[in-house]
C-alpha cells in the first residue's frame, strides 16, 4: 500500500467534518499534477490529512475507500475523485515548520511544491510522519 497527503482548508472541509461524516468524496482537485497523484491512489492506501490555512499541519489519517473514478460533476471527463474514510486524529500534529526544519524531508513535495494539494509520500517519509504523529 502507498501513502499520500491531501491538503484541506479546514474552513471549507476539514478533519472535523470528515470525522463526523465518516467518509467523503475527495473532489475539487483541478491541478494536473495533483490529479495525476490522485489517480495513482488505490483503495486501502493511507492518506494524511493536512490542514492548510493557519494550522499548516498533518492533523489526521484517512484511508482511500475507493479507487479513483471520474468526477460526476466534471463535464470535461478529465477530473477524478476518490472516496476517503476517516481513520483517526493524530496525537501530535506535524507542522510545516517541522517538515522544513528536518533535512530528511527536503525532497518531499510538501516542502518543494507547497501549493500542490495531493501528493505521494515516500515510505521513509511516511514512517517518520507516522512516528511523529503517534499513529
Whether the pLDDT of residue 80 is over 90: the answer is yes
In whole angstroms, what separates CA 37 from the centre of its chain? 10
Distance between start and end Cα atoms, the chain = 16
Please give the pLDDT value at position 77: 86
Contact by Cβ (8 Å): 54, 94 = no
Question: Could you tell me if 99 and 132 are in contact, meaning their C-beta atoms sit under 8 angstroms apart?
Answer: no
- β-bridge mates for residue 85, sequence order: 23, 63
Helix (H, G, I), strand (E, B) or coil at 11: helix
Separation CA 40–CA 27 (nearest Å): 15
For the chain, the domain total comes to 1
Task: Determine the structural domain holding residue 15 and report its residue range.
Answer: 3-133
pLDDT digits over 54-72, tens only?
889 999 999 999 999 999 9
From the list 116, 105, 124, 127, the residue with the least C-alpha distance to 38 is 116
> Considering the entire predicted model, what is its pTM?
0.95
Q: Would strands 3-8 and 46-51 be described as parallel, antiparallel, or unpaired? A: parallel
Q: Looking at residue 10, which CATH number applies to its domain? A: 3.10.590.10
Q: How many residues does the structure list for the chain?
A: 135
Cβ proximity of 9 and 53 under 8 Å: yes
Q: Is the pLDDT of residue 1 over 90?
A: no
For 120-135, write each residue's pLDDT tens digit: 999 999 999 999 999 9
Inter-CA distances, 10 with 30, 51, 79, 82, 128, Å: 18, 6, 22, 19, 24
Amino acid at each position: 500500500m502507498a501513502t499520500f497527503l491531501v491538503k484541506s482548508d479546514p474552513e471549507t472541509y476539514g478533519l472535523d467534518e470528515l470525522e463526523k461524516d465518516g467518509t467523503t468524496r475527495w473532489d475539487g482537485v483541478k491541478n494536473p499534477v495533483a490529479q495525476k497523484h490522485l489517480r495513482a491512489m488505490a483503495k486501502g492506501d493511507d492518506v494524511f490529512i493536512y490542514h492548510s490555512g493557519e494550522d499548516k499541519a498533518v492533523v489526521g489519517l484517512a484511508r482511500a475507500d475507493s479507487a479513483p473514478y471520474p468526477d460526476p460533476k466534471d463535464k470535461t471527463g478529465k477530473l477524478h475523485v476518490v472516496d476517503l474514510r476517516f481513520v483517526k486524529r493524530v496525537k501530535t500534529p506535524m507542522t510545516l515548520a517541522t517538515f522544513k526544519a528536518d533535512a530528511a524531508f527536503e525532497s518531499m513535495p510538501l516542502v518543494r511544491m507547497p501549493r500542490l494539494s495531493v501528493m505521494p509520500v515516500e515510505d521513509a517519509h511516511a514512517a517518520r510522519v507516522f512516528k511523529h504523529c503517534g499513529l
